Structure 1
Amino acid sequence: MFSKSIYTVFFLFTATFLFSQEKTEYKIHTIAFYNLENLFDPEDDPITFDDDRTPKGKDHWTYKLYRHKIKNMARTISEIGKDLATNSPAILGVAEIENRKVLEDLVNDPNLKSKDYGIVHFDSPDRRGIDVALLYQKALFKVKNYNKHELIMYDNNTAKRVFTRDQLLVGGYLDGDLIHIIVNHWPSRRGGEARSRYKREKAAALNKKIMDSLFAIDPYAKIITMGDLNDNPNNSSVKKILMAKQYRKNIKIKGLYNPMAKLAKKGLGSLAWRDQWSLFDQIIISKNFLNTNYSSYRYYKAGVFNPEYLITSTGKYKGYPFRSYANGTYTGGYSDHFPVYIYLIKQKK
């Protein structure tokens, strides 16, 4: 178990809250989310539209490129939150992965193998075959149950079924604390933000339904919903449907706090498009994580993981995330998204 000593006379949550002047030690864990930008293996799946990511496809996706991509993803994951938690994420949600095989290759990379990550994954009905999944360090998080929730919706114009990613719900114990995690990858903005907005609002409604079912059992449930929402913290799906708040004082029982809202207000983003930053990748938590009784895990702080090596250093897209594929060519980069994370802390006995 990893821990971090947190000393006195520094601000934790507000300018008025201080730890006592005696040394206090806390266990600290990183909870993170990362869109892995089309982590496909080179095999052709006859059921899905993955032809581009094959050796003969337009991306000329070979095992050599695939192995390099795996290495890059594993390196990044191994370092998220490490500066404070001195460990890779205890729990990590991922998106844009093709199947369980790519996850097995990922967790068996030398950068991650010693962490002994478990995998929770279902194949989703997405046409391209991209899914969400949860990785967790088996020594730290004990899975209790898991299931998937299908998002069923229809195109407003054609009335045809829109096939998209399932929402993955995993419940388990982090050092004895029961925590529920929902991993999301909401529908994209293809066709324009306004025209596609209803899709993300439906995704948000499903997400809220899942959380409400958990709150019906326990109003004080510890819930983390995370993912690539394809919306910012101030968009209607997050602000009005999830009702995720920016400020703690406004949150009531069964309410949600969105620490990413403050980061977005400061101009931080997890992806860039046409010289504008967005914070589509978010981690949102239920009220009970804000309690100041640290006998169980509570929220400490949030961040966007954007070290220099994840940033494009030259050219037209200088300063953007250093993506792995651009202009029909493998760049040797990582992802078009930065990972996001939160720290949870608990007082040591």
Structure 2
Amino acid sequence: MAKVLMKGNEAIGAAAIKAGCKYFFGYPITPQNELPEYMSRELPKNDGVFLQAESEVSAINMVYGAAGAGARVMTSSSSPGIALKQEGITYIAGAELPCVIVNIVRGGPGLGGIQPAQSDYNQVTRGGGNGDYKLLVFAPANLQEMVDLMQDAFDAADYYRNPVMMVGDGMIGQMMEPIEFKSPSKRYELKDKPWATTGTKGQRKPNIINSLALDPAELEKHNERLQVKYNEMKEKEVRYEVYNMENAEIVLVAYGTTSRIVKNAINELKEQNINVGLIRPITLWPFPEKAFDEIPTTCKSLMSVEMSMGQMVDDVKIASNGRWPVHFYGRSGGMVPTPEGVIEKVKELVGGAK
């Protein structure tokens, strides 16, 4: 199949439609605006419905309703917009409903700016809403991977009956790259949705979808059952890439477009006889702790490289389990790390060129 040159936000929309998305509810915010614009034009052509809500809060509750009816539904936003959706997201997770949420991250805190960032890491991996819930979180590094993961995102949402989040920084949304729309992976064995509120047709009792449980014993059992599902995700959904790990003196940890910058730095350092490896989380949750078991004995330390003030460092420390010291290099507020900056920091840690 021929490749097509597309902008990231539009490629997300095209991939979602190919994955069977029929409903989109959202509200404009930079730098993801091309995605709802694309869906407003293309969804109706594919027997779908686009609706611009009056706010992010309204949009996520519309997602709740469509998901409750068993439809493939998604929403998208950027950082402060995702923050506004958090109450609805925890309701959806509590009610065990499938949906896909796209976050094209911009710099913060607060309204911040419109430039790319990764400063929503804690929000998406720790949960910005109340209660003991988790989202499966994908973080693609390029547009092809993002397009490929969209099918898995919708399928995983249905399989686990859980919200799935796709996270990309502003560059992912705005860059253009050639992509190929491949056949579905069929990774998940999907079943019908007897729980959906589609009308009884006189053949069954009404389905009730709710996240309220006033009996504490009942709510505890519900939470325990959710944990079984989250543990299954930890067992089956961890995804990562390792790069240039052989004889690495230091291993960098980076995700998304930052990992591409890191790879350029690693290749330049290799020419200077400095061996540096990379662990790239593809799932931010579950975090790929098992990848750290592949680190060679030559490694002396780790360094997290981020477009934030070090939000992933805690997960790197947990995964390292005290085996290596953990350092940090990052830029914030919409500033993007450069290969030169990464190289300089690595040289400080390993003692210069050899």
Q: TM-score, normalised by structure 1?
A: 0.29
Max Rg structure: 2
Structure with greater proportional helix content: 2
